[in-house]
Structure 1
Amino acid sequence: MTRYILMVFAGACSYGALSTIVKLAYREGYHAAEISFTQALLGMAVLWLLVLLREKIRFRVNWPLLWTGAAIGLTSFVYYLSVRYIAASLAIVLLMQFVWMGILLDWLLFKQRPGWLQIVSTLLVLAGSVLAGGVLKETPGAADPAGWLTGVLLALGSAFLYAVFVVANSRYGNELHPLRKSAVIMTGSTLGIGLVNLHTLATQPFTGYGLWKWTVLLALFGTIIPPVLFAKGIPRIGAGVSAVVMTAELPVAVIAAGILLGEQLDAVQWCGVVLILLAIAWLKIGKRSS
């Protein structure tokens, strides 16, 4: 059990670096559609290449996994859009709402009732998210109420899509090798992002080769390493526990922003980071003991 929890934890930490990389790409003039699409496309290509090196190709459409991939692809795209309207600190906290959404979906759809350990860990994680995200020092929507509301709805939408991905990943395609499962998921992700942004991608050509330096980093940390780790770990520990462990993304995002973007972290935010990590560690220890 500990091994698979650590896999999901490592995948979440890898995801945590994405928001900082995206901000750096935004500074050079790139937009959400081209960033998210090229990220998914490169990740899909690399994963299928690894599958081909390992086994013979078998053409078989796995619709549940394709829809699972579309969910995680659109999670990234919708989240990238949300940070245009609201502070990144608020957006990441709203994204963390996928924890209770995922537990609730697993309960409603598959009758997996959460235990007290999951419930308490979830409450601690959500409290830590509010502190770590610096929401308490933000002034919500004073300058542009309509834009602020749009950003909040987009961030909550990305949280719901993330929850769908976690639950679906724990249920479908578990008979496949993690590499093949990840490749199919990333195919769905690429198709989902491409279809939603078809007009934008067709009418606005990519703005230069400089995009690919960010694409390589985003693909490595977002569409190559995490899908393989999640494909192996999430089915073993379940959607509920995975949802809590995957909140490790937030502390990594906050720390990476502090180091690479120069964003200042105050004592309250550090307390939130520590609280999230303690909640995850407590959940892991409790699961191991039980």
Structure 2
Amino acid sequence: MFRGIAAVFLGACSFGILSTFVKLAYKEGFTLGDVTGTQVFFGLIILWGMVLLRQLPGSKSSSTSFRDKLKLVAMGTSTGLVSIFYYKCVQTVPASIAILLLMQFTWMSLALDAVMKRKLPTSIQLATVVLVLLGTCLAGRLFSGELPDFDWQGIGYGLLAALCYTFFLAINGAAGNAMHPTTKSALLLTGACILVFSVFPPEFLVNGALWHGLFKWGLVLAVFGTVIPPLFYAYGIPRAGLGLTAILSAAELPVAVLMSRVVLHEEVLPVQWLGVGLILLAIALSNLNSIRKSRQTASLA
């Protein structure tokens, strides 16, 4: 179980550092299309390379139907939207605020689940929503007496990224569950790549940007954003359990805020750390029941 916990934690930390790398790429003059395009492009090459290595003579072949594979490609478009909206948000607001906006998927997921099941949320779920919203207000310095000078369009993009991530989580278990993690991740990223290249044609392949600094950012973002997290999650989630995974996944929030402070030298006030703490507490509270149930199941077994 310890290895599973470590894998989920490292996967979450990997997600958390992305916004800092994106900010650094923007500082070197690269565009949103450059950043998102190279991430999915290099990620696609790495993941499909891993798939091909697994299909060498003597390896087991997948029995997944073409329809399920097509579903995964279609589902992958939602991850492409998350990248576009999130990195557009990072372009206009501090990285420490962008990750807070993305974390709004916590209460959005609860709301979507309530609508789909046509069932009112529980008191714990309502408390989670309140804590997340209060933590966001504190972390965004909305109670500091002076409204921060943020780009409100960027905040809108951040919330759209959270909404797309919510829908991705809701449909992620609909297909490919029996598939190897590398194959599933490669198919999802194929859909993301198709969407990103439809919005931003891959001009970086011909305009020379790759050899003027973009290559390193694309490779870093691909490894930490599209290779490590899905593979580590695929290994760790079955061992750590869904409830503990949800809590460990929240590690991306403090990691992103810490990276923005240490690397980008963005100002992070104590009240903002209090807001981060409240959001982490909300995620922990919302998953207490699932952790208890998993422990009871383990003890009975």
TM-score category of the 2 structures, normalised to the smaller one = 0.7 to 0.9
Distance across 1 between alignment mates of 2:108 and 2:117: 14
Computed over aligned residues only, the root mean square deviation of the Cα atoms, in angstroms, reads 3.4
Q: What does the per-residue CA deviation read over 1:68-114, in whole Å, with 9 as the maximum and x for residues that have no partner?
A: 21111221111211233444444333322212222333343466876
Query: Which of the two has higher C-alpha Rg?
Result: 2
Q: Which of these residues, 92, 100, 109, is aligned with residue 93 of structure 1?
A: 100
Who is 1:72 aligned against?
Answer: 79
Distance across 1 between alignment mates of 2:7 and 2:205: 40
1:160 equivalent to 2:163? Answer yes
Q: Please identify, of 163-172 and 279-288, the stretch whose mean Cα deviation from structure 2 is larger.
A: 279-288
Distance across 2 between alignment mates of 1:201 and 1:14: 27
Distance 1:275 1:152, change over 3 A: closer
Q: What does the per-residue CA deviation read over 1:136-164, in whole Å, with 9 as the maximum and x for residues that have no partner?
A: 4463568xxxxx44323322211111111
- Do the aligned residues in 1 keep the contact of 2:16 with 2:256 (CA within 8 Å)? yes
- Do the aligned residues in 1 keep the contact of 2:21 with 2:217 (CA within 8 Å)? yes
Distance 1:122 1:77, change over 3 A: same
Distance 1:52 1:63, change over 3 A: same
Distance across 2 between alignment mates of 1:206 and 1:111: 53
Matched residue SS, 1:261: coil
- Do the aligned residues in 1 keep the contact of 2:89 with 2:154 (CA within 8 Å)? yes
Who is 1:289 aligned against?
Answer: 292
Distance across 2 between alignment mates of 1:64 and 1:190: 15
- Do the aligned residues in 2 keep the contact of 1:99 with 1:247 (CA within 8 Å)? no
**What is the percentage of aligned positions where both structures have the same residue?**
41
Distance across 2 between alignment mates of 1:202 and 1:280: 39
- Do the aligned residues in 2 keep the contact of 1:79 with 1:158 (CA within 8 Å)? yes
Q: Shift of the alpha carbon at 1:17?
A: 0.3
Give runs of aligned pairs for residues 50-65 of structure 1, distance below 5 A.
50-55=50-55, 60=66, 62-65=69-72
Q: Which of these residues, 212, 219, 224, is aligned with residue 221 of structure 1?
A: 224
Q: Shift of the alpha carbon at 1:241?
A: 8.2
Who is 1:150 aligned against?
Answer: 153
Distance across 2 between alignment mates of 1:177 and 1:259: 37
Q: Please identify, of 153-162 and 123-132, the stretch whose mean Cα deviation from structure 2 is larger.
A: 123-132
Matched residue SS, 2:91: coil
Q: Which of these residues, 195, 206, 209, is aligned with residue 207 of structure 1?
A: 209
Who is 1:104 aligned against?
Answer: 111
Q: In structure 2, what residue type is equivalent to 1:274?
A: G
Q: Shift of the alpha carbon at 1:176?
A: 0.8
Q: What does the per-residue CA deviation read over 1:163-210, in whole Å, with 9 as the maximum and x for residues that have no partner?
A: 111112233221211111111111111111111112x73898352421
Who is 2:298 aligned against?
Answer: none
Who is 2:252 aligned against?
Answer: 249
Structure 1 stretches lacking a partner, 5+ long: 143-147
Distance across 2 between alignment mates of 1:51 and 1:225: 15
Q: In structure 1, what residue type is equivalent to 2:131?
A: L
Distance across 1 between alignment mates of 2:126 and 2:235: 24
Distance 1:63 1:140, change over 3 A: farther
Q: In structure 2, what residue type is equivalent to 1:172?
A: A
Distance across 1 between alignment mates of 2:208 and 2:236: 35
Distance across 1 between alignment mates of 2:222 and 2:235: 19
Distance across 2 between alignment mates of 1:280 and 1:7: 19
- Do the aligned residues in 2 keep the contact of 1:121 with 1:244 (CA within 8 Å)? no
